[in-house]
Structure 1
Amino acid sequence: MFIPGAKVDPWAYAAILQSLAEEGVTVVITRPWLNLAFFDLRGLDSFTSAAPDIDEWAVGGHSLGGVRACQLAADADALVLFGSYCSNDVSDTDLAVLSISGSEDGLSTPEKIDAARDLLPADAEMVEIEGASHASFGDYGPQAGDGTPTIADDEMHAEVADLLNPFMAELSQG
């Protein structure tokens, strides 16, 4: 289950998450109330109940959606962050965590992500994609305050797929 960033159309994440669907992973992209994740108080089960045959769930999100995903992570098996970090402590959980950030992110900067690193489990996988900006994680155009990406969209999608697909495959083998 994936939660969009603030005021970002959920469809903006379809291309970057497409590789998961092509590998047979069920992908649910939420449409938060008022288009802001913090106003959406639905629990993870509101979305997972639509696919009752799925046994393992990862919750993830971009930017503010990632902050909300951290709040729902207690009910999931894994956490995936795109240009985001937790504001609540999940460090003492056994969650599998993949945090993908961008070297050119002007909003969830590498420094901010590093400063919140202690809120994640010690074995969280932290990956910074060289040349990626905040908006590189979704197809929604430039964003005020963001850095300038130096990575092409297709290369960004391929790098994220190369990280996500094995992470999700390992989760399903549990």
Structure 2
Amino acid sequence: MIKKILIGVVALIVLVVGGTLAWMSIPFSYNQDETAAALISSDKVNVDEGDFISFKPVQTAPTKGIIFYPGGKTSAETFAPFMRRFAEQGYLAVIVPMPFKTAFLGVNKADEVVAAYPNIQHWVIAGHSLGGVAASEYVKSADLNRIEGLLLLASYPASDISQFKIATMSISGAKDLQSTPQKINENKAKLPASTDYVVIENANHWQFGSYAADNTKQQGLLSPSEQAEQVFAQSLAFLNRLP
């Protein structure tokens, strides 16, 4: 009898976990026209879709790079337009596709990126939403001589990383209904005291990436292009301030 109960419990756990992973694997819709265009190589940026999606400047040999963790239920391509722009400014930019579209199953994937590009001496790790949470967790085990910056987009850490000496910027939206301003404020103590906080007025959760318009029905927002421009400008300024 006990054996049958245990088998039933195990079967239930497997069913729940399997169902959750299957649900997480179904991504939010994204702007396919924008992302397709961003994934085409040009005379300025070479795009490589292998284990990672990487954007490399053609005319320079970069020594600085940015690693990006997408949020939950998010295809890596969703942030291709955003990341390509860093390559246009001379950085190596790498998006990490996550197992089952779940960054917590790939917290240490950045190690693989660092190993794959040994010529890059200075890295920033970034993430949106749950991707930012995972990026924050990665900081705990990262080589902070190589990983020199943490960039959080509409995100905050799940645990305390305030003791780690890493340059950090948090960019959030004043009209974000997921990573709300209240949640950002409540979790400030978990980040280094030197963290730079940027709040973009009339910005929401979804327009940090090239998500499809049907993911939000909010009114009074910046246009997607306006929000994207402000997020990128602040992000680039942060990277440029690092050594």
- Fold conserved between structures, TM > 0.5: yes
Q: Which runs of 4+ in 1 moved over 4 A?
A: 146-149
- Which of 168, 183, 186 is the matching residue for 1:112? 183
Query: Do the aligned residues in 2 keep the contact of 1:20 with 1:164 (CA within 8 Å)?
Result: no
Q: CA deviation at 1:160?
A: 1.4
Cα 1:112–1:148 change in 2 (3 A) is: farther
1:38 and 2:104 equivalent?
A: yes
- Which of 17, 20, 26 is the matching residue for 2:83? 17
Query: Do the aligned residues in 2 keep the contact of 1:78 with 1:96 (CA within 8 Å)?
Result: yes
Cα 1:25–1:82 change in 2 (3 A) is: same
| Greater Rg by CA | 2
Query: Do the aligned residues in 1 keep the contact of 2:107 with 2:138 (CA within 8 Å)?
Result: no
Q: CA deviation at 1:19?
A: 2.4
- Which of 34, 47, 51 is the matching residue for 2:117? 51
1:138 and 2:209 equivalent?
A: yes
Q: Structure 1: which 5+ residue stretches go unaligned? A: none
Higher RCO (C-alpha 8 Å, min separation 6): 1
Please give the TM-score of this superposition, normalised by the length of structure 2. 0.66
> Could you tell me how far apart the structure 1 residues matched to 2:174 and 2:219 are?
10
> Could you tell me how far apart the structure 1 residues matched to 2:184 and 2:71 are?
16
Cα 1:90–1:147 change in 2 (3 A) is: farther
Spell out, residue by residue over 1:28-86, the C-alpha distance to the aligned partner (whole angstroms, 9 max, x if none): 10100011111225342111112111111111101100000001124121100010000
Please state which structure has a larger fraction of its residues in strand: 2
Q: Structure 2: which 5+ residue stretches go unaligned? A: 1-66
**Amino acid in the other structure paired with 1:54:** I
Secondary structure, counterpart of 1:11 in structure 2: helix
CA RMSD in angstroms, aligned pairs only: 1.6
Query: Do the aligned residues in 1 keep the contact of 2:172 with 2:198 (CA within 8 Å)?
Result: yes
Please give the TM-score of this superposition, normalised by the length of structure 1. 0.91
Q: CA deviation at 1:18?
A: 2.8
Cα 1:147–1:83 change in 2 (3 A) is: farther
Spell out, residue by residue over 1:136-162, the C-alpha distance to the aligned partner (whole angstroms, 9 max, x if none): 111122437x85561112111211122
> Could you tell me how far apart the structure 1 residues matched to 2:210 and 2:71 are?
12
Residue-pair matches, total = 171
Q: Which residue of 2 aligns with 1:89?
A: 160
